[in-house]
Structure 1
């Protein structure tokens, strides 16, 4: 089947085209212009272009069955109702907000323009159904928490039956703060290859299986992507079928599963070797983000003449003492991981580069380091 290109930044266009995509009559290309040679299997609903934070472009093929299975499993876990879209519709989390709304027979409310606390309040007030849902990334939640002194923001946070948070690690203190304000937070884990979040608060959705093999999380179930458009080699490497005929997605994430609860430790490949010692930058970043003022910080690798590699903290400037925050971050990292893991420097700028999905643009930061 041939693909129809839709601007993923145009949520209304995606919303209008989605019913035909889900019935298999008009598969969509989101985030890229397909070539004439780009054809997809019957049953394909969308192909999503994503590079995440790695900078490696991928075009993920999602079937209508996979998207429906994800929407139905979400409804079975948290209920169904009307959704508010605050994420780009060209990313899987935003696309799923629209798919869940369609599955529930509800019209979603679209947050127009830049995400602000005021825009969130306005969009929330437009919801009319008894049960209300939305999906955010941690940076958006932080914006709302910073503005929660406004009674309207607090009431809007508490208006939802569930607020799904995904895309990045959610700090415990941020979740605690949101729940103190009455928000019902659900931390999700997943990717475009799993039709979005498929693990909620550590527990896989119905029909989804998660195992750890040699420290890597692998996922099976009806929500898996069909593969990658135009890249059979990558498809075969990432999606593996075991002797029992079960198809597994190799996530590239380190983690473990204990008594059915999934714990994600970070990217397997996001490790540096400093002075001969392996250091997980994901672990360092999570600790750094517990420091006041560095909640949205990003930790990246930098070359180091003495140790081979070291790490640097990138943070947006704000109402905090950068030097004090830097020393506190080093102290906390040393206490939990050892002195060898301490970041070597802190760089601040008025704003960090961000992807449209709300995640930090790590590839841009890598280029800044190289420059």
Structure 2
């Protein structure tokens, strides 16, 4: 048994909601939410179908250069929604503030369908804290939720700190604010706590139907284990695999100990109490002067410094050391932010991560290239670093 595919632009979230409702009920085609700005290519061909149990196909952003089409079943999506509700205190009403072509955005719609509540849709364009606060004031359910990426949360907190009381009131209205997509800066979490916002840092991916670990704790029936320093995940929310890539599916998902496991590609550990600590991507490790350096760890350290809260750290080839970390950040001169110079940044990172992790230079861009999800576009960031070296910038 198979079902057809329904490709919808994520600028039509209302249509995606209706299509998902039909897909989850079993009668409609599988939904493929797509970034309207993305190049469609030749997929899907006219008449293409997927397995009957597949309700949603997420095309990954390819932020690291390798896009995939992740097939998610009805069972996986509803298991994720149920696990999320259990972890957050019950089902409620959501605001959709993320693009629906990303799993975090699509899951807001799935959770709304499972809860039988009507989501409020923020819409596209620049994320405006005051407009968001106005929408939050329209929530009517007893339990109110939203899913954000760190840059959105940071903008809301900055607005509060600049005197926007309506934004502070809006943040406190939520019974849970999921924040995922990338590591949540500890200082941002502290700022959120000071406002009274209830933050849950999430970990997961399209392959796990979205966040499956909240604040380090696996939710629902999710199981996380450490294998040779890498994290693997099992549970009912796992994807069916990658459409059109059986070899990639077999290399990423495997059977062991009576369960099906997903190799996340992340470095991390699971402590004796089952708490998950994610250290970074396994493919984001460089060898600098003969020592392993985890660029995600360097980035976390740099983001603790004033003016570097959204900095990105990438690798650059070096004739002496092999590869070295480079900090890429936005120009904040117009905002009057005083930012540490390279020597101070190097010392700060060396004390926390090790001398080999000290960044070799800082590249300042007018604006950091971003994906529509709010994540940094690391491919374009790395290209900007290469271009800056070619142009002879320090």
State if a TM-score over 0.5 links the two structures: yes
Confirm whether residue 13 of structure 1 aligns to residue 25 of structure 2: no
2:108 equivalent in structure 1: 97
Task: Summarize the alignment of residues 218-297 of structure 1 with structure 2, pairs less than 5 Å apart.
Answer: 218-242=232-256, 244-258=257-271, 259-297=273-311
CA contact (8 A) 2:82 2:220 kept: no
How do 1:142-221 residues align onto structure 2 when only pairs under 5 Å count? 142-148=154-160, 149-221=163-235
Shift of 1:112: 2.2
Within 1, Cα distance between the matches of 2:92 and 2:358? 46
Q: Match of 1:112?
A: 123
Q: Which residue of 2 aligns with 1:137?
A: 149
Query: What is residue 85 of structure 1 aligned with on the other side?
Result: 96
Task: Give me the whole-angstrom Cα distance separating, in 2, the residues matched to 1:209 and 1:338.
Answer: 32
Cα deviations by residue, 1:20-39 (Å, 9 ceiling, x for unpaired): 12123310122255123743
Partner of 1:332, secondary structure, is: helix
Would you say how many aligned residue pairs link Structure 1 and Structure 2?
369
For 2:278 and 2:156, locate their aligned partners in 1 and report how far apart those are by CA, in whole Å: 25
For the aligned residue pairs, the C-alpha RMSD in angstroms reads 1.3
Cα distance in 2 for residues equivalent to 1:21 and 1:51: 23
Distance 1:16 1:306 in 2: 57
For residue 336 of structure 1, report the CA deviation from its aligned partner: 1.3
Mapped contact 1:47–1:59 kept (Cα < 8 A): yes
1:2 matched residue in structure 2? 4
Cα offsets for 1:79-129 (capped at 9, x unmatched): 211000110011000001111111111000001232111121111112111
* Post-superposition offset of 1:325: 4.4
From 81, 92, 100, give the equivalent of 1:71: 81
Q: Which runs of no fewer than 5 residues in structure 1 stay unpaired?
A: none
Any conservation in 2 of the 1:112–1:119 contact (CA below 8 Å)? no
The equivalent residue for 2:37 is none
TM-score normalised over the length of structure 1: 0.96
Structure 1 residue 10: Cα displacement:
2.4
Could you tell me how far apart the structure 2 residues matched to 1:262 and 1:34 are?
37
TM-score, reference length from structure 2: 0.91
How far has the Cα of 1:171 moved from its partner?
1.2
Measured in 2, the distance between the counterparts of 1:369 and 1:314 equals 8
Which digits, 9 at most, give the CA deviation of each residue in 1:121-160, with x for residues without a partner? 1111121112100000001111011111211111111110
Moved more, 116-125 or 180-189: 116-125
In 2, the alpha carbon distance for the partners of 1:239 and 1:9 equals 32
